[in-house]
């Protein structure tokens, strides 16, 4: 499995040529075990509440391809990213501890390795400190993994006084527009107006992550985002003002890269680095 995940970085399913002279997001499999999902909305009696799934006519795939960004897997396949001493952790490691299907684990790996490759190709990876597969901090500002909710954050980027807490999504895309309805994420085909595949119930993981990281780093500016990664069918649009639970913005990979590009070149101080390093999955 380790060789397979390395191939996602190297663009070759037979071998990897990533240099190993410096530390970087490494890849590797962990024993499969179930994990408790992030908390669902509950009423005063502790019962789960929420709106029913929207009943919509669906189609299995978009009618056409979306905007091509240059960050599609087929474009990045032959790109061998450098190894950065500013990056720590294992891209996608938390997926192997989740109760996900093999297909979903593979999609998650494409998303997270795709993001790392994009940061490298845009010469951004050394402009800040990045941490990959970071455990959800325990409540109360403790730099230890939460023991109740065994969830993780795909990537945490420290750029000066700002800490970006990032959830990466490699969802089937194309000529579509993403939008939300209550706690449901919907994907509308731009040509037909129909829903593409079933609506997705959104996790509250990033809402919880924002709270926990604010407790852990009270003097930092915590900016959570859910980021859509392009597929080989391109990238869809996100309707203006689209938010995930807790008001966490849903944005695209080019949006995220632009935000990082506009920031200062600055890295985590020793205290923040030690806390995030302690939270890395291993």
pLDDT in tens, the chain (282 residues): 444 445 555 554 433 333 333 344 544 433 333 334 445 554 333 434 578 999 999 999 999 999 999 999 999 999 999 999 999 997 755 433 444 445 444 555 788 999 999 999 999 999 999 999 999 999 999 999 999 988 999 999 999 999 999 999 999 899 999 999 999 999 999 999 999 999 999 999 999 999 999 999 999 999 999 999 999 999 999 999 999 999 999 999 999 999 999 999 999 999 999 999 999 987
* Rg from Cα positions in the chain: 18
pTM given for the model: 0.80
pLDDT for res 108: 53
Q: How far apart are CA 173 and CA 166, in angstroms?
A: 19
Burial 128-152 (b: 16+ CB within 10 A, else e): bbbbbbbbbbbeeeebebbeebbbb
Q: How distant is the alpha carbon of residue 214 from its chain centre? A: 19
Residue among 166, 160, 156 nearest 249 (CA): 166
Residues in CB range of 75: below 8 A, 6 or more apart: none
Residue with tokens 């091509």, as numbered in its chain:
68
The 8-class DSSP code of residue 176 comes to E
Residues in CB range of 39: below 8 A, 6 or more apart: 149, 204, 208
Q: How far apart are CA 226 and CA 205, in angstroms?
A: 10
pLDDT for res 16: 35
Q: Would you call 49 exposed, middle or buried from its count of C-beta atoms within 10 A (0-12, 13-18, 19+)? A: exposed
Q: How far apart are CA 23 and CA 87, in angstroms?
A: 7
Q: How far apart are CA 224 and CA 133, in angstroms?
A: 15
pLDDT for res 92: 55
Residue with tokens 């979306």, as numbered in its chain:
66
Nearest-10 Cα torsion for 76, 188, 109, 272: 100
Q: How far apart are CA 86 and CA 270, in angstroms?
A: 13
């Amino acid at each position: 499995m380790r060789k397979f995940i390395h191939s996602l970085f190297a663009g070759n399913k037979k071998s990897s040529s990533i240099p190993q002279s410096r530390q970087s997001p490494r890849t590797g499999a962990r024993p499969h075990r179930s994990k408790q999902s992030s908390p669902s909305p509950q009423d005063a009696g502790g019962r789960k509440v929420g709106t029913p799934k929207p009943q919509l006519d669906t189609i299995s795939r978009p009618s056409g391809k979306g905007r091509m960004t240059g960050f599609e897997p087929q474009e990045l396949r032959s790109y061998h990213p450098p190894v950065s001493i500013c990056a720590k952790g294992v891209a996608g490691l938390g997926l192997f501890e989740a109760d996900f299907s093999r297909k979903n684990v593979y999609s998650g790996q494409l998303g997270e390795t795709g993001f790392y490759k994009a940061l490298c190709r845009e010469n951004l990876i050394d402009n800040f400190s990045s941490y990959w597969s970071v455990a959800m901090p325990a409540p109360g500002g403790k730099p230890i993994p939460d023991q109740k909710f065994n969830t993780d954050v795909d990537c945490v980027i420290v750029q000066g006084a700002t800490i970006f807490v990032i959830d990466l999504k490699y969802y089937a895309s194309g000529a579509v527009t993403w939008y939300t309805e209550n706690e449901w994420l919907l994907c509308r085909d731009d040509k037909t107006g129909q829903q593409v595949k079933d609506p997705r119930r959104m996790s509250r993981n990033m809402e919880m992550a924002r709270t926990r990281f604010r407790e852990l780093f009270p003097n930092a500016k915590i900016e959570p985002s859910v980021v859509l990664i392009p597929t080989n069918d391109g990238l869809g649009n996100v309707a203006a003002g689209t938010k995930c639970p807790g008001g966490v913005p849903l944005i695209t990979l080019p949006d995220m890269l632009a935000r990082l590009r506009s920031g200062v070149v600055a890295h985590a101080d020793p205290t923040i680095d030690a806390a995030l390093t302690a939270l890395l999955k291993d």
